[in-house]
Amino acid sequence: MVYSIPRDSLAEMADDHGGNIQKINAAYEIGKAKMAKKTVSQFLGLPIDYSVTVDMGALKELVDFVGGIYHRYGD
């Protein structure tokens, strides 16, 4: 399954302190992928088996490599 969680959703951070409620996207900044995965798992009430981190610079390079994306205005 794939879920899309709005980045501004409030969630309790899965840290050792408890009660630390922030926007869910803060979990990655606080504890990188491990904390983000644990926080999302707690938020959804589901185990997270796999996760993917996308480097936006690398994504741009990939799109450029396969020919880019073009949008023609005024058509």
| pLDDT at residue 44, rounded to an integer | 95
pLDDT in tens, 6-57: 989 999 999 877 789 999 999 999 999 999 999 999 999 999 988 887 888 9
12 and 21 Cβ atoms separated by less than 8 Å: yes
Which pair of tokens denotes residue 12?
């309790």
Residue 75 binned pLDDT confidence (cut-offs 50, 70, 90): low
Task: Tell whether the model's pLDDT for residue 74 goes beyond 60.
Answer: yes
Cα–Cα nearest to 13, from 3, 25, 4, 1: 25
